[in-house]
Amino acid sequence: MWEKVAHLWRIPELRKRILFTLGAVVVVRLGALITVPGIDSEILKDFWENQGAGIFGFFDMFSGGALSNFSLFALGVTPYINASIIFSLLTSVVPKLKELQRQGREGRRKITAYTRWATVILALLQGMVMTYWMRSAVAASGVWFYASTIVILVTGTIFLMWLGERMTENGIGNGISMIIMVGILARFPNQISRTALQISSGGASIIWGLALIALFIVVIAGVIMVQQGQRKIQIQYAKRTSGRRVYGGHSSHLPIRVNQGGVIPIIFASALLTVPVTVISAIPSAQRFLPYITQGSLAYVVCYVLLIFFFTFFYSSIVFEPTEVAKNIRDSGGFIPGVRPGRSTAEYISGVLNRVLMIGAVFLASVAALPYVFSALSGLTAAFLVGGTSLLIVVGVGMDTIMQIEAHLVMRHYESLAKSGGLLGRRG
C-alpha cells in the first residue's frame, strides 16, 4: 500500500497537483475559522445554542462550521451551485443558451461567465438575508457593519468559486465538490462527539449507537457498489474488407453507469432547498411557515427525494444523448445484436438508460432519506448530520478523486500499479 502511495510523489505533475489541492484545502479551512469583524463570539455561541440543529445546522455542516462561526466563508459555495442549477435548466429551454452550448469551448466560456455573475447576485441576496438574520449576535450594529459584512460574505463566496475552479484546473478532483467534502469532514468529529455524549448521558440507547455504526458501513459499501456498477450493452462490429486487410468482426461493450451523476444530484438538491428557507427567513410575516420546510419535516424530505430523482435524470440527459450514441455506433459500423441501427438503437439505449437510472435514483433517495428516519426512531439529533447525504458526498467525491489519480498514473505508464489493483483495489 505504501509503495503505491509513494508512486504519487514520483510524478512531478501529479505531485504539484496534490500539493496545490492540499494548500487550497488549508486556505478554505482557515477562512472558515476567521469570524466577520463586529461579531461577539459569546453572543454568537448563545445564539447557536438556541438555534439547535435543524436546517441551519445542516447548512453549517456543508460549510464546515463557517456558518456557525459566521466567518468569511459563511455562505460557502451554495450561491455558485444554485447559479449552476439555474443555467443548467435554462440551457435546456432557452434557444440562445442552447446555441451557445453547441458552439463548443467558446460557448461554454460565455455560459460560465453568466453563471459567475448570477453567483454574485445570489450571494448578495443571501448575504443580505444572513446579515439581517444574525443581527442579534452583533455587539454593535450599524449601517457600516451591515454594508461591510455583506461585502465580506459576497467576496468570500466569489473567492471560493475562483478557488474551486483553480482546484479543478490545477489540482485533483472537482474543486467545488472537494470544498464541500472538506467542510463535511471538518464537522464529523464534533457531530460524532455529540452523538457519543447523547448516548452516554442516557439520551439514547447504546444499541442505536451500534446501529448508527452499522448504518455507516452499509451506506459506504452501498455507495461504492452503486458508484462502480454499470450495465454493459454489447456492440457487434461487422467485418469490412479493404484490400487484403479485414477490419471489424469484433465485439465491445457500451457501459452505462448506474449513478452517472455521482454526487451532483445530492449536492444540487441540497443547495436548491436552501432557496425557500432563505426567502422565508427574510420575510418576518412568513417565518411561521419555516418549521414546515425545515430539515427533517415531511415536506422537506418529500421535496428532497423528488429533486434527487429530477436531477439524476436531468444530469444524465445533459451528459448522455442516446440518439447521438446510436448515430456514432452506426457510423463506425457497429450494431446491437437483435436491434436495428438508427432510431431503434436509440430507443433501446434510452430504455436501458432509464431503467438503470431509476435504480440509481432510488438508491440515492433512499440513502438521503434514511438518516431522517433513523433520527426519528433513535432520537439521536446528530445522526442526520453524519449519515446518508454527508457520507454519500464524502465517499463519492473521494472515489472520483482517486479515479483521477489513477488516470494520471496510467497516463504516465504506471501500468504495473493499475494491474496490481490500483488505489481502489480494482484489477486492470
**Residue 154 — pLDDT band, cuts 50, 70, 90?**
very high
Task: Provide the grid cell at 172.
Answer: 485533483
**274-297 residue pLDDT tens:** 777 767 766 777 767 777 777 667
Residue 416: the pLDDT is: 47
Give 62's contacts (C-beta < 8 A, 6+ positions apart).
76, 78, 180, 183, 184, 270
Q: What share of the chain is helix, strand, coil (3-state, %, to 5)?
A: 70, 5, 20
Q: Give the global pTM.
A: 0.74
d(CA 50, CA 332): 64
Q: Indicate the CATH number for domain 2-419.
A: 1.10.3370.10
Asked if residues 181 and 397 have their Cβ atoms less than 8 Å apart, the reply is yes
Statement: residue 268 has pLDDT above 90? no
Task: Provide the grid cell at 416.
Answer: 504495473
Q: Where are the domains of the chain?
A: 2-419
Q: Which amino acid is at 284?
A: P
> How do 334-335 and 251-257 pair as beta strands?
unpaired
Q: Where are the alpha helices (DSSP H) in 336-388?
A: 343-378
**296-307 residue pLDDT tens:** 677 888 888 898
- Mean pLDDT confidence for 2-13: 70
- Mean pLDDT confidence for 82-103: 81
Tell me the HSE value of 284 on the side-chain side, using a 13 A CA sphere: 1
What is residue 76's three-state secondary structure? coil
Residue 138 forms beta bridges with which residues? Answer: 39
**Residue 49 — pLDDT band, cuts 50, 70, 90?**
low
Residue 26: the pLDDT is: 92
Task: Provide the grid cell at 39.
Answer: 461579531
Task: Provide the grid cell at 196.
Answer: 457519543
**Residue 323 — pLDDT band, cuts 50, 70, 90?**
confident
d(CA 16, CA 178): 17
**101-119 residue pLDDT tens:** 777 778 888 888 889 999 9
Nearest Cα residue to 149 out of 119, 129, 163: 129
Specify which of 161-170, 277-286, 311-320 reaches the highest per-range mean pLDDT.
161-170
Residue 417: the pLDDT is: 47
Statement: residue 428 has pLDDT above 50? no
**29-39 residue pLDDT tens:** 998 888 888 77
Residue 162: the pLDDT is: 92
Q: Which residue has the higher pLDDT, 228 or 412?
A: 228
**353-390 residue pLDDT tens:** 899 999 988 988 888 888 777 877 777 766 555 556 77
Statement: residue 204 has pLDDT above 60? yes
d(CA 287, CA 407): 49
d(CA 375, CA 369): 10
Statement: residue 328 has pLDDT above 50? yes
Asked if residues 256 and 230 have their Cβ atoms less than 8 Å apart, the reply is yes
Statement: residue 174 has pLDDT above 70? yes
